[in-house]
Structure 1
Amino acid sequence: MDAYRGFVMTLMTAELLQFQAVHEALPHSTIWAFLARQQSHVEWVGCTLHDLIQPSFSFLVGVALPYSVASRANRGESFGSQFWHALRRSLILILLGIFLRSTHQEQTYFTFEDTLTQIGLGYPLLFLLGRASTRQTWLAFGLILVGYWLAFVLYPAPNSAFDYAAVGVPPDWPEHFTGRMAHFNKNSNLAWAFDTWFLNLFPRESPFRFNGGGYATLSFIPTLATMVLGLQVGRWLRLKWAPNKLLRQLIFAGLIGIIGGLILQLLGICPVVKRIWTPAWVLFSGGLCCWLLAGFYGLIDVWGFRLKPLIVVGMNSIAIYILVHLIDRFIIDSFHIHFGRAPFQVLGAAYEPLLTGALTLAVFYLILRWMYNRRLFIRI
């Protein structure tokens, strides 16, 4: 789990490498075009490697829950004490997400689509489901997906007169759906409508009209389903099955999820869209998370690879998340102030963003390695 979490946080931090900037400087390179694509989110439908960061982080919260609950129970903590801890953790995650999104703003920026905030909103329910039976948990998983899908479908789809330009979407945008799938169009769906009411309840510099990326508060509901999927996988891990059996289970579960998500889209029932976390996305991304976990389980627990750098990052995932949001620009500016730009252009001007980002990543890793060596781990 720590190595997988470290891989996820490394993907997030690797945005500093700015593959897109290198690609723009070298537009004819297919390698940089591919890397830039995998380091950016899809516009609406589909998935890149970068799109798997948030579902993986959420999934792993669920995987870790059975271990956390068992550890606290072994220490003699009561249900009430554990639930209070879950509520406290939830509040901290919500507020931390808002705080990080408010940096460089003129005032508190109340938004709830940040990864930490989304996890925090659903965490108390995840904790309660952690005490439910396996059958009850799968039932809750299904109800979340069906209920979320039904809520979207019952909300009126945009008609031909809908002003997409007013919500930041070109009228001729190629990602528009028709028929039942039109209920999941960008900034014209249930989640967008909810936010035009909910987010305007908070102090704002200007009224909220739409999110430029189409992200929404209500995504915390299906994000809970992703965490529940992780919870079930965490239960499998605690059963201490034979390695080959566990690998087969993870691979099979991943295959079911991926195929299930694609079928929902191919049948016109629900598209695979991360930005509003559709039920099809829960299944598709959840399947890929199972495969990624299977890969790291095989590498570390079966074949004996250590992958220590990833473990160092994974064991302080909250620390690196906060550091990247708060001081990445400070580190980069410090490099330029004290060394100028010439040392970062040694491979050519096109690679300056890459070298600057690589050295910034190295600084972050050294900080985490120092914390790891001194057993300093930030936990919420």
Structure 2
Amino acid sequence: MQQPAVPTPKDIAPSQRLASIDVYRGLVMLLLVFLDAPNGWTGAVKEGYPDAPVVQALARQFEHVDWAGLVLWDMIQPSFMFVVGASAAYSYASRQRRGHSFRRMLGHAIYRSLLLILIGVFLRSEGDDATDWTLEDVVTQIGLGYVFLFLLWNRGWKVQLGVALGILVGYWLLFALWPLPAADFNLAAVSGHAYYDGFWAHWNKNAHPAHYFDTWFLNLFPRPEPWVANGGGYNTLNFIPSLATMIFGLLAGELLRSERPGQRKLAILLVTGMAALLFGLACHAVGVCPVVKKIWTPSFALVAGGLSLLTLGLLYAIVDLGGWRRWAFPAVVVGMNSIAAYALIHLIAHWTLENYLRHFGPGMFTVFGPAWEPLLQNLAVGAFIWLICFWMYRRQVFLRL
């Protein structure tokens, strides 16, 4: 069976979206498709191998860190948002070539933004008795920042970079200058945690301005009970610093669209990626602010943006400059239908597992012992979702917003 071809280097023009962008998105989606649902599997693996440090370390790469720090799983959302920015550079350039006016493109950006926000709310509400009006889901966060991202498209790299850095400095000032809670503040009542004393206490869990904003804003929506706190520490205002992550992606997309030689583009991606990574780590090391994904601190935005630039640079070198594309086909399948794959993870993962167990029994998942049973279940569900995306890919059915 012949597979649809990924564009080869000679087919690529500056106006076309590069294969590496879809591969990057697809690799992120593969992790989600195969490892995110329906089970939390890392705990079983860690319990089954308490004296195996390598297994323990690998399992921790697929769990969000409790607060400060960074593992592979913490790069899922920033990578996805970074690729949204890179794709936007190609998407709106394509619309411009087709004669779309600025007003028409702005209308599309607003429409897409609203739709993404509502999709995120809908997926977060799955299994609840009422609409769960929370806005921390990755799709919702992209929607909240998308119109602002569009308004920066085609404005030049100096403006785009200046806005991104201004966002990060301004967001840092918001937290750094916000008064600390009183000494008798009840963190337990808001699922909070005092991770730090001193200056870093401005970034303690659920004791900062983004949390206080949500205690007002989220209670404007109808809900069975008043909203008190997010148990994980995530906030609506995370979309502001994560917008900087999308702008970094926009900058990368505009670079790759340019007429510069490929090797020059690669060098810029790698150098700027390393600079952002080191600067973000330095901000953490010298005490400017901690690297915390759950509240998207400016230092985290720099570290995640740097790693995303480096990853895209590596994929650009392999896929677009090197022409090594065949290995990436499984990623391209889900990368070209990322919204559909993300929705399927939330909507049919448990239903799929129930049918596996009903028709084939649990024995197929216990062949390696109880420690690996949840992981094997996730992999089986992921295979089914991937096959759905493959069916869509073969028929050129792509869910677009």
TM-score w.r.t. length of structure 2: 0.91
What 5-or-longer segments of structure 1 have no aligned partner?
Answer: none
2:171 corresponds to: 148
State the Cα deviation string for residues 196-239 of structure 1 (Å, max 9, x = none).
11111111222111111000000111111111111111111011
Give the letter aligned to residue 190 of structure 1: P
Structure 2 matches for 1:120-199, cutoff 5 A?
120-170=143-193, 176-199=195-218
Q: Write the distance in 2 (CA, Å) between the matches of 1:377 and 1:224.
A: 26
Q: Write the distance in 2 (CA, Å) between the matches of 1:29 and 1:375.
A: 45
State the Cα deviation string for residues 82-114 of structure 1 (Å, max 9, x = none).
000000000000000000000011100000000
1:5 corresponds to: 25
Is contact 1:158-1:182 (8 Å) kept? Answer: no
Q: Secondary structure at the match of 1:70?
A: helix
Deviation, structure 1 residue 181: 1.6
**Using a 3 Å threshold, how does the CA distance of structure 1 residues 37 and 240 change in structure 2: closer, same or farther?**
farther
2:250 corresponds to: 231
The alignment yields a C-alpha RMSD, in angstroms, of 1.4
Q: Write the distance in 2 (CA, Å) between the matches of 1:36 and 1:310.
A: 22
Q: Write the distance in 2 (CA, Å) between the matches of 1:313 and 1:29.
A: 33
Is contact 2:336-2:398 (8 Å) kept? Answer: yes
1:255 corresponds to: 274
1:300 corresponds to: 319
Is contact 1:12-1:50 (8 Å) kept? Answer: no
Q: Which moved more, 1:18-27 or 1:306-315?
A: 18-27
2:368 corresponds to: 347
The answer to whether residue 123 in structure 2 is matched with residue 100 in structure 1 is: yes
2:97 corresponds to: 74
Deviation, structure 1 residue 354: 2.3
Q: Write the distance in 1 (CA, Å) between the matches of 2:294 and 2:199.
A: 18
2:63 corresponds to: 40
1:30 corresponds to: 53
Q: Which moved more, 1:125-134 or 1:74-83?
A: 125-134
Q: Which moved more, 1:30-39 or 1:121-130?
A: 30-39
Deviation, structure 1 residue 22: 2.2
The answer to whether residue 286 in structure 2 is matched with residue 267 in structure 1 is: yes
Q: Write the distance in 2 (CA, Å) between the matches of 1:376 and 1:202.
A: 35
Deviation, structure 1 residue 20: 3.0
Q: Write the distance in 2 (CA, Å) between the matches of 1:34 and 1:266.
A: 23
Q: Write the distance in 2 (CA, Å) between the matches of 1:69 and 1:349.
A: 49
The answer to whether residue 338 in structure 2 is matched with residue 317 in structure 1 is: yes
1:87 corresponds to: 110
Is contact 2:192-2:233 (8 Å) kept? Answer: no
Deviation, structure 1 residue 34: 2.0
Is contact 1:257-1:287 (8 Å) kept? Answer: yes
Deviation, structure 1 residue 305: 1.7
Q: Which moved more, 1:82-91 or 1:233-242?
A: 233-242
Is contact 2:280-2:300 (8 Å) kept? Answer: yes
Q: Secondary structure at the match of 1:187?
A: coil
- Runs (4+) of structure 1 exceeding 6 A deviation are none
1:378 corresponds to: 399
Q: Secondary structure at the match of 2:36?
A: helix
Q: Write the distance in 2 (CA, Å) between the matches of 1:158 and 1:257.
A: 32
Structure 2 matches for 1:201-220, cutoff 5 A?
201-220=220-239
Q: Secondary structure at the match of 2:218?
A: helix
Q: Secondary structure at the match of 1:372?
A: helix
Q: Write the distance in 1 (CA, Å) between the matches of 2:337 and 2:54.
A: 31
State the Cα deviation string for residues 152-180 of structure 1 (Å, max 9, x = none).
1221113432211112235xx5xx22222
TM-score w.r.t. length of structure 1: 0.96
Give the letter aligned to residue 114 of structure 1: D
Is contact 2:44-2:370 (8 Å) kept? Answer: no
State the Cα deviation string for residues 19-54 of structure 1 (Å, max 9, x = none).
332222232233331222011101110111000010
The answer to whether residue 333 in structure 2 is matched with residue 291 in structure 1 is: no
What 5-or-longer segments of structure 2 have no aligned partner?
Answer: 1-20
Aligned length: 376
Deviation, structure 1 residue 362: 1.1
Q: Secondary structure at the match of 1:22?
A: helix
Q: Secondary structure at the match of 1:318?
A: helix
State the Cα deviation string for residues 338-373 of structure 1 (Å, max 9, x = none).
111122212223322222222111111111111111
Q: Write the distance in 1 (CA, Å) between the matches of 2:175 and 2:372.
A: 45
Q: Secondary structure at the match of 2:354?
A: helix
2:5 corresponds to: none
Give the letter aligned to residue 32 of structure 1: V
Give the letter aligned to residue 8 of structure 1: V
Q: Write the distance in 2 (CA, Å) between the matches of 1:250 and 1:334.
A: 45
